[in-house]
Chains A and B, each alone.
Chain A
Amino acid sequence: MSGQNIAFLIVLTAALGLFSYNIQRLVSYLRLGTSENRLDHPERRTWNLITIGFAQTKILRERGAGLSHASVFWGFLVLTAGTAEILLHGVWPAFSYEAILPRPLWQLFMLSQELFAVVVLVAVSWLLWRRLVAPPKRLQGKEVHGLEAVIILCVIASLMLTIYTTGGLEYASDPSVRATQFGWFRPISTGLGALLTSIPGTHVAHDVSYWLHALLVLGFLNFLPYSKHLHVVSSLINVWFSNTSGPGQIGVMRAMDLDAEVEQFGASDVDHLSWKNLLDGYSCTECGRCTAACPANITGKPLSPRKIVVDTRRRLMEKAPLLAGELDVPGSAALFLDAEGGKAALGNVLLDNYITEDELWACTSCRACVTECPVSIDQLDIINELRRGLVLNEGRFPEEVQPTFESLEKNASPWAFSPADRAQWSDGLNIPTYAEAFAEGRRPDILFWVGCMGSFDDRAKKITVAFARILQAANIDFAILGQEETCHGDPARRLGNEYLYQMLAKGTIETLDRYEVKTIVTFCPHCFHQMGNEFPQLGGNYEVVHHSTYIERLMDANLIPLNTEHGQRLTMTYHDSCYLGRYNAVYSAPRETLKRALPVLTFVEPARTESRGLCCGAGGGRMFVDEKVGKRINVERTEELVATGADVIAVACPFCMTMMTDGVAKLEKDVSVLDISEVVAGQLLGSARTA
Chain B
Amino acid sequence: MKIAVCIKRVADMGARFQIGADGTSVSDAGIKYDMSDFDEWAVEAALQLNEKHGGGEVTVISLGPDAAQETIRKALAMGADKGVHLKADRIPFDGFAIAEALAAELKDGAYDLILFGRIAVDSAAGVTGAMVAELLGLPCVTAVSKLDVNGAMGTAERQVEGGVETLSFPLPALCTIDQGLVTQARYPSLKGIMAAKKKPLESKPAQLGAISVSVRKMELPPERSAGRIVGEGAAAVPELIRLLQTEAKVL
Contact = CB atoms under 8 A, between A and B. Distances in A.
B30 A405 contact: no
Could you say which of B12, B14, B189, B190 has the most chain A C-beta atoms within 10 Å of its C-beta? B190
Contact of A402 (B14, B34, B187): B187
Nearest to A388: B190
Contacts of A499: 190, 193
A418 B15 contact: yes
B187 A405 contact: yes
Contacts of B12: 410
A420 B30 contact: yes
A268 to B, nearest CB: 11
B16 A394 contact: no
Given A418-B16, A419-B30, A402 B184 contact: yes
Given A410-B14, A418-B15, A420-B16, A395 B184 contact: no
A395 B186 contact: yes
A391 B189 contact: yes
Given A418-B16, A420-B16, A410 B34 contact: yes
A526 B100 CA distance: 52
A27 interface: no
B112 to A, nearest CB: 26
Contacts of A393: 189-191
A10 interface: no
A356 B188 CA distance: 21
Contacts of B242: none
Contacts of B186: 395
Contacts of A419: 30
B189 A411 contact: no
A411 B14 CA distance: 8
A258 B189 CA distance: 12
A395 B189 contact: yes
B16 A258 contact: no
A498 B189 CA distance: 10
B183 interface: yes
B53 interface: no
A265 interface: yes
A395 B14 contact: no
Contacts of A418: 14-16
B192 interface: yes
A435 to B, nearest CB: 14
B190 to A, nearest CB: 4
B32 interface: yes
Nearest to A392: B190
Contacts of B16: 418, 420
B170 to A, nearest CB: 35
- Chain A contact-residue range equals 20 to 34
Nearest to B12: A410
Interface string A246-265: 00000000000010000001
B190 A416 contact: no
A456 B30 CA distance: 18
Interface in A371-408: 391-395, 397, 399, 402, 405-406
Interface residues of B, number: 17
B15 A399 contact: no
A392 B187 contact: no
A410 B190 contact: no
B189 A392 contact: yes
A128 B100 CA distance: 83
A399 B30 CA distance: 28
B11 to A, nearest CB: 10
A410 B31 CA distance: 9
A395 B192 contact: yes
B189 A394 contact: yes
Contacts of B183: 399
B32 A395 contact: no
A265 B192 CA distance: 11
Nearest to A264: B191
A392 to B, nearest CB: 4
B149 to A, nearest CB: 25
B14 A258 contact: no
A511 B202 CA distance: 35
A349 B9 CA distance: 39
A392 B14 contact: no
Contacts of B184: 399, 402
A395 B15 contact: no
A151 B30 CA distance: 68
A61 B24 CA distance: 70
Nearest to B33: A410
Contacts of A391: 189-190
Contacts of B15: 418
A206 to B, nearest CB: 68
Nearest to B185: A402
A191 to B, nearest CB: 71
A265 B189 CA distance: 10
A618 B238 CA distance: 46
Contacts of A258: 190
Nearest to A261: B194
Contacts of B189: 391-395
Interface in B1-57: 12, 14-16, 30, 32, 34
Contacts of A416: 14
Contacts of B34: 410
A482 to B, nearest CB: 13
Nearest to A417: B14
A498 B56 CA distance: 31
Complex A-B, nearest 10 residue pairs according to Cβ-Cβ distance, in ascending order = A395-B189, A392-B190, A499-B190, A393-B191, A410-B32, A420-B16, A395-B187, A410-B12, A418-B16, A402-B187
18 contacts: A265-B190, A265-B191, A392-B189, A393-B189, A393-B191, A394-B189, A394-B191, A395-B189, A399-B184, A402-B187, A406-B187, A409-B32, A410-B12, A410-B32, A411-B14, A416-B14, A418-B16, A420-B30
Given A397-B187, A418-B14, 18 more contacts: A258-B190, A265-B190, A391-B189, A391-B190, A392-B190, A394-B191, A395-B186, A399-B183, A405-B187, A409-B32, A410-B12, A410-B14, A410-B32, A411-B14, A416-B14, A419-B30, A420-B16, A499-B190
Interface of B: 12, 14-16, 30, 32, 34, 183-184, 186-193
